[in-house]
């Protein structure tokens, strides 16, 4: 199926691994040009090395801390120049989770979570907005989590920050819609990314990763009985960027193997 992304230019933040990397790869496979960023530029370039020869104006990769407005502005400006002077889509994916109950979270950690979730998205949207306004069908996809609607005490501050981000995304959809820019969210459950592999290595018990994740899925009540794969998130993201989703904005899509318990 042709998603109509050939020749379009998309910026992806947090693209050195996991969902961001899977999204960048899928976009390139669909014929889109991609500008990708991550804090660790060397890791990002290594991850995208197989695509380095995709063709002129097809791939731009650079280090960027999305919590630093000036870095984001420089990255987006460079991206527009590298991709032929246009930006048609933006994927706000940079993020992490803070596994800690509220009583074990410092004020600095709270500020850092909101800085990343809220300003990390706002900086990218503000920088890309003038370019998106020139696109015939501009689209922003914000990668969020089911925690935004279904908080967990062990992820107290992350849950709160993600709820604020969901609210902000709805506001952005209303604000940017009249300019022709669609804004949607994907809400993740447990996805098999580097953070879970790091947690497995730190966990006691000596279980293999596959068995450990099955137990994790059972503990969290995931009906499908497993963690999701990054490409299973990338496809909905890429679909929302497609002009075929041109009448969808302000929407949220749960991608959690059925874990959602919210209304």
248 and 157 in a common domain: yes
- Percent of the chain whose pLDDT exceeds 90: 75
214 and 87 in a common domain: no
Buried residues in 27-50 as b, exposed as e (16+ CB within 10 A): bbebbbbbbbbbbeeeebbebbee
Q: Which pLDDT band holds residue 133 (cuts at 50, 70, 90)?
A: very high
pLDDT at 32 over 80: yes
163 and 217 in a common domain: no
CA–CA separation, 52 and 55 (whole Å)? 8
pLDDT at 197 over 90: no
64 and 114 in a common domain: yes
Any domain includes 259: no
Buried residues in 182-211 as b, exposed as e (16+ CB within 10 A): bbbbbbbbbbbbeebeeebeeeeeeeeeee
Going from the C-alpha of 6 to that of each of 97, 226, 245, the distances in angstroms are 33, 33, 15
Per-residue pLDDT, averaged over 21-50, amounts to 96
Q: Which two tokens stand for residue 65?
A: 């801390």
Any domain includes 174: yes
Of residues 109 and 10, which shows the higher confidence score? 10
pLDDT at 248 over 80: yes
Neighbours of 124 (CB within 10 A): 28
138 and 197 in a common domain: no
Buried residues in 142-177 as b, exposed as e (16+ CB within 10 A): bbbbbbbbbbeeebbbbbbbbbebbebbbebbeebe
Per-residue pLDDT, averaged over 161-190, amounts to 97
- Asked if residues 135 and 180 have their Cβ atoms less than 8 Å apart, the reply is yes
Residue 262: its pLDDT value, please?
Answer: 76
Any domain includes 2: no
Domain enclosing residue 212, as ranges: 192-227
220 and 173 in a common domain: no
150 and 29 in a common domain: yes
CA–CA separation, 13 and 97 (whole Å)? 16
- Asked if residues 139 and 89 have their Cβ atoms less than 8 Å apart, the reply is yes
Q: Which two tokens stand for residue 38?
A: 């991550």
Q: Which pLDDT band holds residue 263 (cuts at 50, 70, 90)?
A: low
> Which CATH number does the domain housing residue 113 bear?
3.40.50.720
Per-residue pLDDT, averaged over 169-183, amounts to 98
Any domain includes 260: no
Residue 261: its pLDDT value, please?
Answer: 77
pLDDT at 194 over 80: no
Q: Which pLDDT band holds residue 204 (cuts at 50, 70, 90)?
A: low
114 and 235 in a common domain: yes
Domains of the chain: total:
2
Of residues 55 and 152, which shows the higher confidence score? 152
141 and 185 in a common domain: yes
Any domain includes 75: yes
Q: Which pLDDT band holds residue 132 (cuts at 50, 70, 90)?
A: very high
Per-residue pLDDT, averaged over 154-164, amounts to 91
């Amino acid at each position: 199926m042709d998603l109509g992304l050939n020749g379009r230019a998309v910026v992806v933040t947090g693209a050195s691994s996991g969902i961001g990397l899977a999204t960048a790869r899928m976009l390139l496979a669909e014929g889109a040009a991609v500008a990708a960023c991550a804090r660790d530029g060397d890791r990002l370039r290594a991850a995208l090395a197989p695509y380095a020869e995709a063709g002129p104006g097809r791939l731009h990769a650079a280090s960027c801390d999305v919590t630093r407005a000036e870095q984001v502005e420089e990255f987006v400006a460079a991206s527009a120049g590298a991709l032929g002077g246009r930006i048609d889509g933006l994927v706000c994916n940079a993020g992490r989770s803070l596994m800690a109950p509220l009583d074990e979270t410092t004020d600095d950690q709270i500020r850092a979570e909101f800085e990343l979730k809220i300003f990390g998205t706002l900086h990218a949207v503000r920088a890309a907005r003038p370019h998106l306004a020139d696109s015939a069908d501009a689209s922003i996809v914000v990668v969020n989590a089911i925690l935004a609607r279904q908080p967990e005490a062990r992820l107290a501050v992350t849950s709160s920050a993600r709820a604020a981000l969901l609210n902000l995304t709805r506001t952005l959809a209303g604000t940017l819609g009249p300019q022709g820019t669609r804004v949607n969210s994907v809400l993740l459950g447990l996805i098999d990314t580097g953070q879970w592999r790091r947690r497995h290595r730190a966990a006691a018990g000596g279980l293999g990763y596959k068995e450990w994740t099955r137990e994790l899925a059972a503990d969290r009540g995931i009906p499908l009985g497993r963690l999701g794969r990054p490409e299973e998130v990338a496809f909905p993201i890429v679909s929302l960027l497609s002009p075929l989703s041109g009448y969808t904005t302000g929407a949220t899509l749960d991608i959690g193997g059925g874990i959602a318990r919210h209304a």
